[in-house]
Every structure is written in C-alpha cells, then in structure tokens.
Amino acid sequence: MNDLDGVIHTDATPPLPPATAWLNWTAEVPPPIPTLASQMRRPAASPTVRTDLPSAAARPHFVAPFNGEGRSAVEVLIDSSGRICYADERPTDRDVDGILIERWEGELTGSVRWGHHVPARQFMAMDNPVKCGGCGGQPDVDERGILWMLNVEPGLHDGRLAGSILTATPPFCRRDARRAIQGCDLLREGIIALRVTEADIVGIRGTVYSPNGETPLRDQVVLFDEPTITRVVANQLLRRLSAYTTDETTLPELAGPLQ
C-alpha cells in the first residue's frame, strides 16, 4: 500500500501525477524529544518532534509551493564514479546522506498549491525531527502518536487499513490539518486520520539517471539499499508508516472554521 502522491492506493488504483513543494522556516531549538519508536537511515538518530516552536499562525506555509515557485533548469551530469551531480552544485543541493535533491527556485508569491511539495522543504519536514507539513512546526502529538492525515480511495473511508503505508506526506499540527482539509482538493475527496508511533525513513522518490545516457526514469521509488540511489535526483523523502491506529476523533473536531 502506498500514499506517494497523497492518496492511499490499493493494487487496483493507478498512481496520480507526482507531488512537489514547501517553505523553509528555521529556529534555534533545544535537543528534540523522541516520540516515535523507529529506526532511520542515520543509526544515531530516531524520529523526533520539536516542542518549543512559535504558533502556526506566526509562520507561512511550509512544504506547499506558491505559484511563483518552480523547478530549476539545472544541468545534471554523471561524475567519474558514476554518481550524478549538478553542473553548478551547491552545498544545499544534498542532504546529510549525500542524496541529490531536486532544486527549485522562484518567489513566494501567488496562491499556495496544496497537495504539492517543494523538494527541499519536503525533505526537511519528513526528516528528523518530523515537522508539520503546513507550517514547519511541531505536528500534533498525543498518547496515541503523531497525527498523519492521508487521502484515501473510495472503499477505504471506513478506516479499515491493513499493512504498512509508504508515504511522502508529512504529519500535521491541528491548525494546519484544518487548513489542509479546506484547501487541498485531494483531501476533500476522502481523508483518514492516523496516529503513528513507528515511521521509518526508507527511501526516496525521484528521477533515476542512466550511466549510458538513456532517457531518465521519472517518479521512481528507490530504497536506501539500492545501488541506483547515487543516480537519483530526489523530490521526496519517504517514510513507511508501520505502527499506527485510526484516529476517529480528530477529524470531527477539525470541522469548524480556522481560529
């Protein structure tokens, strides 16, 4: 089961076009507090959340792009070791594991495109500490786990999910969960709320380049132990939600207007 494009699919459901987008917000914070019991690709760390961020109302949209933002026209090369790189590569083009991230540019102007992700900001939200997809702050956490909201196909609206879910969708705080429900067309088509306690970072989604000059393969899921990982321009960091329960109380509470 996957939610790579914002929709939980059964085997019979074709994937939607890829998602893309998010806005960088930073703050000086103390060491994060662990909340998810899971491993990630960096052995010394575990998924965490921040606990002392300003209110969501004080921050702009985080991962969703504005109309003034878009993918950069940057040349992709393959070096002598077979690893891809940008012709004018910058230190900010790679994450801490050396994954090459799809570069975006532009102005934070126009309307917000809910349901899409700016790659660099999506990586920030899905990495440790996990952040709210709407504001970049702390996602909602209670004794059941972290709040994740996913779009679901017809037939899954009763909340009967089975197995792990591979997703590129970050969690949400309560205020931005409400904003997302009102602003995102995908979520209005069908939505389920989960409380997650285990969500491993397992791979990336992006464009795989061939060392032989063949046409690049877009929208490929590549796990961290696959050899092609060094030839991917990534636009999404993926987590596998493997321990979760259906949250049947939060969505009704979010039905009212924004505060």
What pLDDT is stored for residue 163 in this prediction?
Answer: 83
Residue 17 resides in a domain: yes
Confidence tier at 1 by pLDDT (50, 70, 90): low
Residue 118 resides in a domain: yes
User: Do residues 53 and 149 make contact, with C-beta atoms less than 8 angstroms apart?
Assistant: no
Mean pLDDT of 141-150: 94
What is the extent of the structural domain holding 215? 2-28+40-253
Q: How much of the chain exceeds pLDDT 70, in percent?
A: 68
What pLDDT is stored for residue 62 in this prediction?
Answer: 84
Average pLDDT taken over every residue of the chain: 76
Distance CA 103, CA 19 (A): 14
Confidence tier at 160 by pLDDT (50, 70, 90): low
Residue 258 resides in a domain: no
Residue 33 resides in a domain: no
Residue 35 resides in a domain: no
Main-chain phi, psi angles of 197, to 5 degrees:
-115, -10
Which regions of the chain does DSSP assign to beta strands (E)? Answer: 2-3, 7-8, 33-34, 48-49, 69-71, 76-78, 84-86, 100-101, 104-106, 141-142, 145-152, 165-167, 191-208, 217-223, 232-246
Give helix then strand counts, H and E, for the chain: 4, 15
Q: How many domains does the chain have?
A: 1
- pTM across the whole model: 0.76
Q: Which residues of 163-185 are buried (b: 16+ CB within 10 A; e: fewer)?
A: ebbbbbbbbbbbbbbbbbbebbe
What pLDDT is stored for residue 5 in this prediction?
Answer: 55
Residue 54 resides in a domain: yes
Distance CA 205, CA 216 (A): 13
Residue 92 resides in a domain: yes
- DSSP one-letter code for 168: -
What pLDDT is stored for residue 188 in this prediction?
Answer: 59
Residue 259 resides in a domain: no
The amino acid occupying position 43 is: P
User: Of all helices (H) and strands (E), which one includes residue 182?
Assistant: helix 174-183
